[in-house]
Structure 1
Amino acid sequence: MPEALRKVADAILGGPADAARMTIVDLAERSGTSTATITRFCRALGFTGYAELRVAIATETGRVAQQTWETDIGQEILPDDSLDRVLGVVSANDIRLIQQTRDQLDLAVVDKVAQAVARAGRVLLFGVSSSAAVASEMEYRLQRMGVPTWSRSDAHTALTDAALLGQGDVAIGISHSGRTREVIEVLAEAGSHGAISVAVTSQPRSPLAEVAELVLTTASRATSFRSEGFAAIHSQLLVLDVVYVSVAQRTYERTKQALDVTVRAVAGHRLPEQRHPDQRHPDQRHPDQRHPDQRREQRLSERGRPEEES
Structure 2
Amino acid sequence: MPGSEHNFHRKDEGVTVELLHLIRTEQDEMPEALRKVAEVILAAPAAAARSTIVDLAERSATSTATITRFCRALGFGGYAELRVALATETGRVAQQRWETDIGQEILPGDGLERVLGVVSGNDIRLIQETAAQLDLASVEKIASAIAQAGRVLLFGVSSSAAVASEMEYRLQRIRVPTWSRSDAHSALTDAALLGQGDVAIGISHSGRTREVIEVLAEAGSHGAVTVAVTSHPRSPLAEVAELVVTTASRGTTFRSDGFAAIHSQLLVLDVVYVSVAQRTYERTRDAFDLTARAVTGHRLPEGEK
TM-score calculated relative to the size of structure 1 = 0.67
TM-aligned CA distance change 1:62 to 1:204, over 3 Å: closer
Taking the aligned partners of 2:88 and 2:191, their CA distance within structure 1 comes to: 53
> Secondary structure, in 3 states, of the residue corresponding to 2:295?
helix
Of residues 148, 166, 169, the one that matches 2:198 is: 169
CA distances 1:33-85 after superposition (whole Å, capped 9, x unpaired): xxxxxxxxxxxxxxxxxxxxxxxxxxx89964622545964521001101000
**Percent of matched pairs sharing the same residue:** 80
Find out whether 1:209 has 2:228 as its counterpart.
no
> Secondary structure, in 3 states, of the residue corresponding to 1:173?
strand
Of residues 281, 286, 294, the one that matches 1:252 is: 281
Equivalence for 1:90: 119
Give the superposition deviation at 1:184: 0.3
Find out whether 1:107 has 2:136 as its counterpart.
yes
Find out whether 1:77 has 2:106 as its counterpart.
yes
Farther-moved stretch of structure 1 (97-106 vs 63-72)? 63-72
Taking the aligned partners of 2:188 and 2:97, their CA distance within structure 1 comes to: 40
RMSD of aligned alpha carbons: 1.9
Please tell me the residue identity of whatever aligns with 1:67: A
> Secondary structure, in 3 states, of the residue corresponding to 2:285?
helix
Please tell me the residue identity of whatever aligns with 1:246: S
Taking the aligned partners of 1:189 and 1:259, their CA distance within structure 2 comes to: 34
> Secondary structure, in 3 states, of the residue corresponding to 1:128?
coil
Please tell me the residue identity of whatever aligns with 1:99: Q
Write out aligned runs for 1:127-146 (5 A).
127-146=156-175
Equivalence for 1:178: 207
Taking the aligned partners of 2:271 and 2:145, their CA distance within structure 1 comes to: 14
Farther-moved stretch of structure 1 (264-273 vs 115-124)? 264-273
TM-aligned CA distance change 1:70 to 1:106, over 3 Å: farther
> Secondary structure, in 3 states, of the residue corresponding to 1:150?
strand
Give the superposition deviation at 1:275: 7.0
Equivalence for 2:176: 147
Please tell me the residue identity of whatever aligns with 1:155: A
Equivalence for 1:156: 185
TM-aligned CA distance change 1:70 to 1:171, over 3 Å: farther
Give the superposition deviation at 1:148: 0.1
Of residues 207, 220, 242, the one that matches 2:271 is: 242
Taking the aligned partners of 1:154 and 1:195, their CA distance within structure 2 comes to: 20
Taking the aligned partners of 1:231 and 1:106, their CA distance within structure 2 comes to: 20
CA contact (8 A) 1:75 1:223 kept: yes
TM-aligned CA distance change 1:159 to 1:89, over 3 Å: same
> Secondary structure, in 3 states, of the residue corresponding to 2:223?
coil
CA contact (8 A) 1:74 1:222 kept: no
Of residues 86, 90, 93, the one that matches 1:66 is: 93
Write out aligned runs for 1:18-57 (5 A).
none
> Secondary structure, in 3 states, of the residue corresponding to 1:168?
coil
Taking the aligned partners of 2:287 and 2:103, their CA distance within structure 1 comes to: 43
Q: Which runs of 4+ in 1 moved over 3 A?
A: 60-65, 68-74
CA contact (8 A) 1:166 1:193 kept: yes
Please tell me the residue identity of whatever aligns with 2:292: V
Equivalence for 1:46: none
TM-aligned CA distance change 1:61 to 1:145, over 3 Å: closer
Higher RCO (CA < 8 A, seq sep 6+): 2
TM-aligned CA distance change 1:229 to 1:63, over 3 Å: closer
Task: Report how many aligned residue pairs link the two structures.
Answer: 217
Taking the aligned partners of 2:198 and 2:136, their CA distance within structure 1 comes to: 21
Equivalence for 1:24: none
Structure 1: gaps spanning 5 or more residues: 1-59, 277-310
> Secondary structure, in 3 states, of the residue corresponding to 2:271?
helix
